[in-house]
Structure 1
């Protein structure tokens, strides 16, 4: 057995070290002409390099050329991606619908319209009616009554006793500072620009409900509060907001921090507006700055 294995090894070494020649023969004269010659191990190395090159070229063709798109796995990945995009688009459509509802509500309130609530409405076909429990529990009935009484987008009934003329209200100063731009409706400046210390607290001028608290590219961090008697106050260019939509606030309660956010600003300040029934009001007529 040892001799047989030794003989096989000797045969392999012999063929790897042998010299092989490539020759051409002239058919008419039978003259031989050597073209090239190589060792056995050189032929083996050439075969290995060729195989590796074929593998690399095949991989590049499959990974980085249109050939990839005709493979079954690529088709499956494409369908999966399309489904994910459709779900994402549907989610974006719902978000846009809800934001449109909020913007519409704010516009109506600023214009002096009275609204009861803002309820997003979705396609009824998207609702699954199977296994629904139609009989509300006692806790559910209690919660429904509390929500109905609170009426998220309206002033609570406890505030309505204070309804009267603007002169009857005691407005809280939103910030302490220096007025740099006055109320001027002719120039589309419907409020006051008040310069104060950076990071100073911004406070609500009256009791109310936060109607809007979000980012605007031009006004930065904006918070709008609905008060009684169709009074609306707006606070713009805040560094940050500490209240959210639907939060109840008291007069003098901190709602944000003075900043320099938004495109329409040249330095840290608060832009403060006061509206009633869709009409801008000069805050200096009712607030001592």
Structure 2
């Protein structure tokens, strides 16, 4: 299907599957460039908006302002064109990236983002776990722990559900999960890879994890055309196996920065002023 991918979980990535995506890393301007980037991606694929049959949109997790821009754009285009709309989270995508690395997928490893990755020699029965992260700011990370052990291609088992926390607390949670998995698989080597934007920033913290493997600051959508195609394939695969259509909603994982305002100050000796919803 002629598929448009839009993701604003970290900067923005826009592209038509089969073609080189357009990426914007500057978080201060990527939203303003989104409309032009979508138009350019369609033009490079020699497509008009009504030629789009499917739209895959990244649903995070990510901060509120940037993430909602991509989702709103995708919903508007789907409404106007009648294209099918599917959501895909970025954290599962990073597990797919690590799976491709360990399988030595040449298309993935030849992308500039992974060209310098060294794939270690490991026993054939090694269980690979991916700690998938994304920068949540405020010295926190969105994270999820997944493995493809005994699952098959593009199938992942969740060991820790998607959440947000500090790197130090994430290490404690992941260590406990690894110990449980090791107990269930004695004498089987386990490697914990860390992938996603923000991974490299806390590299020293990750050394406290048992059997740390590859650490990369990249996500699936950093991997040019192959990454774009794989992101879309994941979303389509999840839609095919779902028992019912899944709503496309953003994953913020953090409560909004709003609070109930304090009462108005006392006016002379007349007590606390009351707020009026309408003018009298």
TM over 0.5: no
The structure that has the greater radius of gyration is 1
When the two structures are superposed, what TM-score results if normalisation uses the length of structure 1? 0.22
Point out which structure has higher relative CO (alpha carbons under 8 A, 6+ apart): 2
When the two structures are superposed, what TM-score results if normalisation uses the length of structure 2? 0.23
